[in-house]
Chain A
Amino acid sequence: MRAVAVTPDPLQLEPLLCLVADGGGHGAIVSFVGTVRDNNLQRRVTHLEYEAYEPLAVKALEQIVEEAGAQWPGIRAAVHHRTGRLAIGEASIVIAAASAHRANAFAACRYVIERVKQIVPIWKHEFFEGGEVWIEGATVNPTDEAARLEAVRRSCA
């Protein structure tokens, strides 16, 4: 089990929880599971397809976990992202973060998802009743310090 992964296989949270728990001793483990919503912008979503530039996506996830470790020393984080076709309700991303205390565990977990949405080369193709559309979110700039600090700010809100 690796701390970061981009995979077409269904995601499982439990192994990530074990990974960040690292045998225990942390006081808090926080997890996040992103799932496919059945609606978006008044559209009735039927399913999603996620596409990744896999080698760079893996490096980007590793960078994000490193950033979280630098921001909140002592935390342990792990994140897996799914690719391919996902049905409504399936998990597209699972994140786990462990820390001595709950505040940093919550913050690190939130930070990982915020940064994923900023810099990881993964794209969501939304299929809905009556059409399909590529969702386009953030322009990728991994060295944009203002964006990184905005992710930190949201994580501590």
Chain B
Amino acid sequence: MRVTVRLFARLRDIAGTSDLARDVPAGSTAADVWRALVMEFPEMARYDSSISTAVNADYAKMTTSLADNDEIAFLPPVSGG
């Protein structure tokens, strides 16, 4: 299945893009997509313990299972205000 990965702030800088399309195995979780991303961009590993996620623009857990065409966003620590 295919998912769209949204990246922000430093993660976007590391990847060099804000949007990635990735084919992942059926049943993949947000954590699975994150691990694949870290393999591709090792610099992202330092966010392993601080990363949060959202699926289709709703807060989600790293254990959330994904469906075809989902948009998964990875959120580094935030700094609004």
Q: How distant is B9 from chain A, measured CB to nearest CB, in Å?
A: 4
Q: Is B78 within 8 A of A134, CB to CB?
A: no
Q: How distant is B62 from chain A, measured CB to nearest CB, in Å?
A: 11
Contact flags B22-66 to A (C-beta < 8 A → 1, else 0): 000000000000000000000000000011101001110000000
Q: Number of contact residues on A: which range applies?
A: 20 to 34
Q: Which residues of A lie under 8 Å from residue B78 when comparing CB positions?
A: 117-123, 136-138, 140
The answer to whether the Cβ of A142 comes within 8 Å of any Cβ in the partner chain is: yes
Q: Is A140 within 8 A of B81, CB to CB?
A: no
Contact flags A100-114 to B (C-beta < 8 A → 1, else 0): 000000000000010
Q: How distant is B59 from chain A, measured CB to nearest CB, in Å?
A: 5
| Chain B residues bordering chain A, tally (CB within 8 A) | 21
Q: Across the two chains, which residue of chain B brings its CB closest to A81?
A: B80
Bound-state CA distance A121–B57 (Å) is 10
Bound-state CA distance A136–B75 (Å) is 11
Q: Is A124 within 8 A of B77, CB to CB?
A: no
Q: Is B79 within 8 A of A135, CB to CB?
A: yes
Bound-state CA distance A60–B13 (Å) is 24
Q: Which residues of B lie under 8 Å from residue A131 when comparing CB positions?
A: none
Q: How distant is A3 from chain B, measured CB to nearest CB, in Å?
A: 17
Q: Is B54 within 8 A of A134, CB to CB?
A: no
Q: Which residues of B lie under 8 Å from residue A56 when comparing CB positions?
A: 54, 57-59, 73
Q: Is B54 within 8 A of A121, CB to CB?
A: yes
The residue that B75 contacts in the complex, of A34, A117, A140, A143, with Cβ under 8 A, is A140
Contact flags A119-157 to B (C-beta < 8 A → 1, else 0): 111111100000000111111111100000000000000
In the complex, besides A53-B8, A116-B81, A134-B13, 17 extra interface pairs with C-beta distance below 8 angstroms are A51-B9, A52-B80, A53-B75, A56-B59, A113-B81, A117-B78, A121-B8, A122-B79, A123-B9, A123-B78, A134-B10, A136-B9, A136-B79, A137-B79, A139-B50, A139-B77, A140-B59
The 8 sampled A-B contact pairs (Cβ below 8 Å) are: A53-B6, A53-B54, A55-B57, A56-B58, A119-B78, A121-B73, A134-B9, A140-B75
